[in-house]
Structures are given as C-alpha cells and as structure tokens.
C-alpha cells in the first residue's frame, strides 16, 4: 500500500496533488482548436441536441460535479437542465420522457441508487449518457453512450480528482452539443483555451494547513457560494463533513437572508467564495453584510484581488488563480479539498477510510 502512495501519507493527499496530471489525461486527445472530439457521443449528438431537457443524476460528489456543470451546459446548449439526486428521483418516481437526455455521473459506475435510476430512465425511453471513471462498470455498460473521465484509479473514499475531471468532461460534452451554434463560437473557443491551460493553474496553497489549524476546534463551518460556485460550496462542505467529521454546510449565498444569517456570530467560521465572475458584486455585498454582523470570514478570491473584495483586516484570505469563469469551480475546490485533508489529519481521524463511509455504496 505504501508503494502505491509514493511519497504521500494518504491516498486522498496523493489524489489531490495528482490533479494537474489527472486533468491532463481527462482531456488528452479530446481538445482540438476547432472544438472537442468525443468519440463516445458522436453517434448520439443529434439526439442530444434535440432533447427537451437534460437531467443530471448522481449521488454525493458526483452530484455536486453535475451541479457545477449545470450553468455552462445551459449556457452552451440552450437546453434546460434539471438536477436529480438518484435516491430522490426514485423516491418520487419523478417524470422522465423520451425527449429527455439523462446524464448519469458516477466515479465508480456502481452506485446502487444511480444504477436503479438508470434502469428507471431506460424504461421511460430517455437517452441515457454515462460519465464515469470506471471502464467496464455497470454504468458504462448499460448506458446508450458516454464518456470515461480517465482520471486514473481513485482510492481515497472521499472523491477529489474524479470531481474535477467530471466537471471537465461535462464542459467538453456541453461544447460538443453546442458546437453547431454560430453565436456562441467565440465563447466556446475561450472555454477550450481555458481548458487546455487548466492543469497549469492547479495551485497547491501551502497556507491551507495553517488555516486548518485555526479551525480544528470549531464545531461547524459554513461555505457560501453562488452561480458557478454554488457547487463548490456544497462540495467543499461535503469534504469537510465526510473526512474531518466536522459539521459543515454549503449554502447558496442568495438564500443567506432567508435563514442562514441568523447563525452568524464572531465564532462561526464562514468561507465565502468571491472569485471573479458575473456574481462578484453580489458576493461583495454578501461579505459586507456578514462583516457588519461581525462574521468570522475566510474569503476565497482571485489572485491579487483582495482589495477588490474589500475584506477587513480580520478576514483570512484564500487566493486562487483566475481561469475562465465557468471553469473556476475546478480550481476553487482544490484549496477546500486540502483544507478538509489537513483538518482531518490535525483532528486525528482516518483520512482514507472515514468513519461509517464506503467508497462505493452498492446497496440501497
């Protein structure tokens, strides 16, 4: 086992640091100047373009990756996207139609709820697309078509590198579906450029250990995000919850006034994601409102952008490299993965085998 971990103490740590490489392998041979080439979808692109709706279905981190993809899939394809946690879709027996495309996202390709939701969608006659890391998995065998994320074997129970590769694959799927639209061509080209430079922007923030040590005794941690980074807030909080065994919630910043604001005091740490995109000025205002209630803030902002965010001296700052707005979730999650990792080590918990959790949940 130690040989497989190389110079790292834990698989989670290794897999977080592997991301420049895993993102590269995810995109290998698929990005061209003129567009993306996804062999797995080629024969179904026409049907995909005609879909009335795209339904993303997954569990845990895979669901969050799909949520991160939702804004740019809607933008580049013009097709409405709805989100389904697999178990909830099954509980409700929610309506699915022949004109729908159901995209199933699963690292293992073996999660029971996701596979049951797949059977359900197949029965309803939807086009079923798989996004998985596991060649030969039930998901890749039973879907009509799909894309392997090629992130390499992931061993840590908490998914890290698969999350970022899933987002990148869904960006490529959105680019492929939208490639017949002339009006979005400049936008598509800038996203393709953004994708190819993404691995070089994965930074390893050495300050995350220090930040983790300031949080080890906290009972709870909130993460506020919106727009492209609502998913980052949910996924950052999920990582902290599952490995560091600390209560943590990701929240939609736009909902702050409808409840979460009541929790704010000088003790509760709150991470606010305020990197540059069309929601930036709204996030600045969220920061001001939290500061005026003496919130204990940790602000994630674009590199060199601290003054623009306007934090007071009491705020901690996480700076991240700026990339194409819709790809920013790939970069923003990395410091939060590292934070969860260091919190877990410092709190003395098992990083790779969190209490009560399994890598692949194959029973309902």
Contacts to ligand G6P by CB under 6 A: 59-62, 106-108, 111, 114, 157-159, 357, 359-361
Whichever of 311 and 329 has its CB closer to ligand G6P, that residue is 329
Considering the complex, what minimum distance in angstroms separates the CB of residue 259 from ligand G6P?
26
Whichever of 216 and 361 has its CB closer to ligand G6P, that residue is 361
Q: Which residue is nearest to ligand G6P (CB)?
A: 60
Whichever of 162 and 309 has its CB closer to ligand G6P, that residue is 162
Considering the complex, what minimum distance in angstroms separates the CB of residue 68 from ligand G6P?
13
74 φ, ψ to 5°? -60, -45
Whichever of 243 and 299 has its CB closer to ligand G6P, that residue is 243
Considering the complex, what minimum distance in angstroms separates the CB of residue 22 from ligand G6P?
15
Considering the complex, what minimum distance in angstroms separates the CB of residue 3 from ligand G6P?
24
Whichever of 59 and 290 has its CB closer to ligand G6P, that residue is 59
Considering the complex, what minimum distance in angstroms separates the CB of residue 69 from ligand G6P?
14
Considering the complex, what minimum distance in angstroms separates the CB of residue 247 from ligand G6P?
18
Considering the complex, what minimum distance in angstroms separates the CB of residue 318 from ligand G6P?
23
Considering the complex, what minimum distance in angstroms separates the CB of residue 324 from ligand G6P?
25
β-strands 269-274, 296-302 pairing: parallel
Which of 86, 72, 161 has the alpha carbon at shortest distance from 120?
86
Whichever of 60 and 194 has its CB closer to ligand G6P, that residue is 60
Whichever of 238 and 318 has its CB closer to ligand G6P, that residue is 238
Cα separation values, 278 from 170, 284, 309, Å: 21, 12, 14
Considering the complex, what minimum distance in angstroms separates the CB of residue 225 from ligand G6P?
18
Which of 112, 68, 127 has the alpha carbon at shortest distance from 273?
68
């Amino acid at each position: 086992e130690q040989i497989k971990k190389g110079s790292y103490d834990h698989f989670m740590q290794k897999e977080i640091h592997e991301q420049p490489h895993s993102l590269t392998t995810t995109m290998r041979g698929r990005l061209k100047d003129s567009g993306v080439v996804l062999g797995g979808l080629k024969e179904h692109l026409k049907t995909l373009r005609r879909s009335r709706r795209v339904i993303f279905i997954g569990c845990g981190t895979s669901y969050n990756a799909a949520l991160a993809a939702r804004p740019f899939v809607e933008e580049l394809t013009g097709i409405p996207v709805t989100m389904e946690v697999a178990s909830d879709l099954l509980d409700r027996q929610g309506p699915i139609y022949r004109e729908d495309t159901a995209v199933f996202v699963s690292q293992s390709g073996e999660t029971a709820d996701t596979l049951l939701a797949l059977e359900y969608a197949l029965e309803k006659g939807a086009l079923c697309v798989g996004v998985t890391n596991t060649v030969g998995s039930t998901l890749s065998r039973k879907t009509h078509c799909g894309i392997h994320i090629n992130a390499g074997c992931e061993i840590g129970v908490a998914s890290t590198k698969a999350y970022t590769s899933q987002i990148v694959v869904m960006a490529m799927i959105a680019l492929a579906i939208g490639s017949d639209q002339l009006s979005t061509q400049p936008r598509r080209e800038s996203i393709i450029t953004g994708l190819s430079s993404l691995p070089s922007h994965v930074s390893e923030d050495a300050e995350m250990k220090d930040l983790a040590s300031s949080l080890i005794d906290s009972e709870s941690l909130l993460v506020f995000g919106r727009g492209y980074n609502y998913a980052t807030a949910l996924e950052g909080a999920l990582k902290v919850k599952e490995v560091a065994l600390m209560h943590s919630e990701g929240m939609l910043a736009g909902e702050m006034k409808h409840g979460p604001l009541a929790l704010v005091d000088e003790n509760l740490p709150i991470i606010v994601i305020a990197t540059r995109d069309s929601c930036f000025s709204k996030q600045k205002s969220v920061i001001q409102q939290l500061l005026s209630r003496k919130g204990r803030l940790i602000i994630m902002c674009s590199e060199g952008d601290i003054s623009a965010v306007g934090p007071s001296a009491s705020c901690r700052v996480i700076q991240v490299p700026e990339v194409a707005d819709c790809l920013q979730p790939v970069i923003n999650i990395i410091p939060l993965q590292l934070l969860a990792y260091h919190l877990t080590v410092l709190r003395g918990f098992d990083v790779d085998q969190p209490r009560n959790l399994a890598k692949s949940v194959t029973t309902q």
